[in-house]
Every structure is written in structure tokens, then in C-alpha cells.
Amino acid sequence: MTRHSLRLRLVLAQIATITLALIVAWLALAGLFERHLERRVDDELGTFARQLAAQLTFTATGEAELRGELADPRFRQPLSGLYWQIEIAPDDVTLRSRSLWDQVLDLAPDHLEPGVSHRHALVGPGGSRLVAHERSLLVDTARGERRLRIATAIDRTTIETALAEYAGQLAWGLVALASVLAAAAWAQIRFGLKPVEEVRRAVAVVREHGTQRLAGRFPDEIQPLADEVDALLDSRDAMLEAARARAADLAHGLKTPLTVLRAEAGRLREAGEPSSATTLEGLALDMQRHVDRELARSRLASPAASSRTSAVASLVDRLVATLQRTPAGERLDWQVAVPADLRVAVDPDDVAELLGNLLDNAAKWARETVGIGATAAAGRVTLVIEDDGPGVAAGDRDKLGARFMRLDSTTPGHGIGLAIARDIALAYGGTLAFAEAPAGGLEVRLDLPEAQPAIGQASRR
């Protein structure tokens, strides 16, 4: 994927979204857990305070004493982080848990209404930070009314450690979840963009196999794009057909003026003006070359041409039969070795035009024999046409097929046949090459794409 890839953009957007959502989730869950943990601590400290109030008694002389110990063993372990303390006024007596050892909780000097609870942040033994729950009570004793301040406290480090452990475990869990979500997002993007890939393949089929429309049904979001492509193809086909028709009309319209020019050249020659006659004949010949060339090119531009296939053997047989009825062809021995089942991905009219020009050129130069062979391999068809004529010098073979190039002006012809053959071959992704034939003449090697089975496109939704 490149930085211009739609898939990359979607993946990055998904990763950013997942990351942001999980960070927010981590912060929210950690905050919820912290509040829940603090409420649990407050509830626990309040429970301890109520238990202390229930266990505190006063003797007949007014002395305060506890009837038992709190169940949590940390209250009996020195500096464990869990403490309690009871202040009795006005006796100025302080009772405290063994865990405080020789320390005293420095409670705030605020005045609490009886039965009201308060939450404090205190400094505990060794400078530790404590969370304290304080409750005030009024008790009638033998010595009169006494005010009690019952405080239970826990080291805040205990809360922070639990919170850190939870946050760490939550982070690893969310990382695992992010991996799963990223994989799911990747699969979703691949699945979601699959119709786009199918459109690309359908367009490739149009380009490579000449079909006229995108085959199949696409999802509702993609179908308008496919419809627009089909409309564009229809518009292109209409314009090409119109251009082809205009070229044919132009050629037809020039036919009569060219005939008149040749007739006028003949009259001038009979009237003793050979120079003027030659000039007119040259002009008529040049115009005919241009017409022939443009007619061939307009046929190649036809959209229907690229969607057809041709049976090579039957075309070769028909062309040879036609040439055998001409003065140049009837004297030759035509040796044809073309498999009957060989097909090329070329319009039959274009194959006929291409092979007709090559075979006509071979018949024009051959002395006794013209050989035609064909083979197929790796999706390509190679046709070889050989003659036993004088051949072409190695230095001149590259000029064959050039526009209006004639290596021998004494032989009749326009010098356009091989150029048209090369144009047709190139238009279908083929090649045309020239070499020396085994018999000493010219070998023409034509390479064309082999016709493939029709590609069916299943309906998509």
C-alpha cells in the first residue's frame, strides 16, 4: 500500500479511532474503578468505626474500655497501614490500635455534630498519607456525658497500589482488544473494498477482452459508478462508430473524384501531355493511399473489433483460394500447415486484411512456392509466411512496414500493404517481424494473442 491508497487511509483511520476509543475507555474505567474503590474503602472504614462504637464501654467509675478486638489482623500489626483511634473528651483520653504503635493520628480540630461522619486526608506514621473516616458520638456515663471522636484510617498507598494493578491489567486487556479490533477492521476493510476491486477487474476485462459493458451486479454504493462507466463505454462506442462511418463516407465520396482524376490523366496522356498525366496519376495514387490507410485505421478503432475471435485456418484457406485465381497466385505452390482449431483474439475482417496483405506480398515476390505455418504456445499464436523470392537485404528489413515505403518501385503496388498489416498487428498487441526464409526469400513472422475462453462474470451483490 502507498500513501495514496484508500485501503491505507481507512486502516489508519480505524487504528486512530480504535486507539482513541480505547484510551477514553481506559481513562473512564480507571476513574470508575477508583471511585468504586474509594467508596468501598469509605464503607469499610465506616464499618470499622461502628464496630468500635459498639465494642466501647464505660465502667462504673467512668473508665473507657473495649470489650474485644476488631477482626482484621492488620489492626494488631505495627505500622500495617490500617489504624483506629478514639479520643474521649473532656477526659483527654486517647485509645488507639496496636498498629499505630507509639504514634497518634493528628485529627483536624473541626467540630462534628453527633452521628455525622467525615472524611479526612491525614499524615500518618512515617509521613504516610492516610485516608481517614471520622465519626462523633455523645455517650452518657457514670461520670457524665462524654464526646467520642472515633477515627479509622488506611494508608492511601494501598488504594493507589490496587488502582495501579487494575490500570495495568486493564491496559493489557485493552491492548489485546485493540489487536482483535484492528484485525477485524482490516478484514472489514478488505471485505468492504472488494466490490471496488471487482469493478477494477471488470474494467480490465473490458480493456483486455473487448466486452462492451461491466458484467455483473454491484452493491448499491458501487452500482452508480459501474453505471457511469457503462454509460461512458456506450458514449465511446457511439463516437467511434460515428467516426468510422464518417471515414467510410469520406472514402466513398473520394472514390468518384479519384476515378475522374485517373480518367483525366489518361486523356492527357493520349493528348500527348505525359508530364501532366504523370502528375495527376501521382496525386490520385497519394490520395488513394491515404484513403486506404484511414479506412484500415477506422476499422481498428471499432469497439466491436476487439471482442471477436477468428479461426485462422479457414481464413488462410479462403485467402489462398482467392489468390490462386489471380495471375500472380495461380502459378505458385501454396503449402499450408495451419491447425484447424487455432483461433486468435482478432476481428475476422482485420485478420483477413492483415493476412491478405502479407500473402499478396508473398505471391508478388515468390518464384514457385509460398509456405504458411502456424503454432500456438503460452497464449500466443505465431504465423510464419515464407516465399522463395529474391528476399530483402538485412539492412532494409527494418524499413519494411514503414508508411508508404517501397523497396522496389518497378513492382506494382502502393507501398501501404505491409504498413497496414503492422498497424493491425500492433492494435491487437501483436508483432510483425521480418527475416530471411530458408529458401532465400522473405520470412514474415506474425505474433498475435490466442483467443481465450469467454470469461463469465457471476452476479455480485
What CATH number has the domain bearing residue 402? 3.30.565.10
Among 161, 196, 222, the domain boundary falls at 161
Q: Looking at the domain assignment, is residue 363 inside a domain?
A: yes
Q: Which string of b and e fits 6-16 if b means at least 16 CB within 10 Å?
A: ebeebbeebee
Query: According to the model, what pLDDT value does residue 232 have?
Result: 82
323 lies in the same domain as 406: yes
283 lies in the same domain as 258: yes
Q: Looking at the domain assignment, is residue 401 inside a domain?
A: yes
298 lies in the same domain as 331: no
User: What's the pLDDT band for 425 if we cut at 50, 70, 90?
Assistant: confident
Beta bridge partner(s), residue 83: 153
Please state whether beta strands 369-377 and 333-337 pair in parallel, antiparallel, or not at all (unpaired): parallel
Q: Cell 482478432 appears where?
A: 346
Q: Give the model confidence (pLDDT) of 332-355 as tens digits.
A: 999 999 999 999 988 888 888 889
Q: Looking at the domain assignment, is residue 253 inside a domain?
A: yes
pLDDT at residue 460 is higher than 70: no
pLDDT at residue 94 is higher than 50: yes
Q: Looking at the domain assignment, is residue 298 inside a domain?
A: yes
**Percent of the chain having pLDDT more than 70?**
87
Among 307, 333, 365, the domain boundary falls at 307
330 lies in the same domain as 303: no
Total structural domains within the chain: 3
245 lies in the same domain as 313: no
DSSP state of 116: -
390 lies in the same domain as 441: yes
Q: Looking at the domain assignment, is residue 426 inside a domain?
A: yes
Q: What is the DSSP string of 122-177?
A: EE-GGG-EEEEEEEEEEEEETTEEEEEEEEEEEEHHHHHHHHHHHHHHHHHHHHHH
300 lies in the same domain as 408: no
Which of the pair, 373 or 401, is modelled with greater confidence?
373
Q: Give the model confidence (pLDDT) of 116-153 as tens digits.
A: 788 888 898 888 999 999 988 888 887 788 888 899 99
Which of the pair, 449 or 223, is modelled with greater confidence?
449
Q: Looking at the domain assignment, is residue 190 inside a domain?
A: no
325 lies in the same domain as 450: yes
Mean pLDDT calculated for residue range 278-286: 76
241 lies in the same domain as 344: no
Q: Give the model confidence (pLDDT) of 182-230 as tens digits.
A: 999 888 888 888 888 888 787 777 766 656 677 677 777 778 887 888 8
Q: Looking at the domain assignment, is residue 203 inside a domain?
A: no
Please tell me the distance from the alpha carbon of residue 334 to that of residue 165, in angstroms, as a whole number: 93
Domain of residue 250, residue span: 210-307
Please tell me the distance from the alpha carbon of residue 32 to that of residue 34, in angstroms, as a whole number: 5
Query: According to the model, what pLDDT value does residue 289 have?
Result: 66
350 lies in the same domain as 318: yes
Please tell me the distance from the alpha carbon of residue 18 to that of residue 77, in angstroms, as a whole number: 47
Query: According to the model, what pLDDT value does residue 391 have?
Result: 82
Please tell me the distance from the alpha carbon of residue 281 to that of residue 124, in angstroms, as a whole number: 121
Q: Looking at the domain assignment, is residue 186 inside a domain?
A: no
157 lies in the same domain as 81: yes
| 23-to-16, 165, 168, 224 alpha-carbon distances in Å | 11, 17, 13, 39
261 lies in the same domain as 273: yes
* Rounded (5°) CA angle 83-87-90: 175
Mean pLDDT calculated for residue range 86-100: 87
Among 290, 307, 324, the domain boundary falls at 307
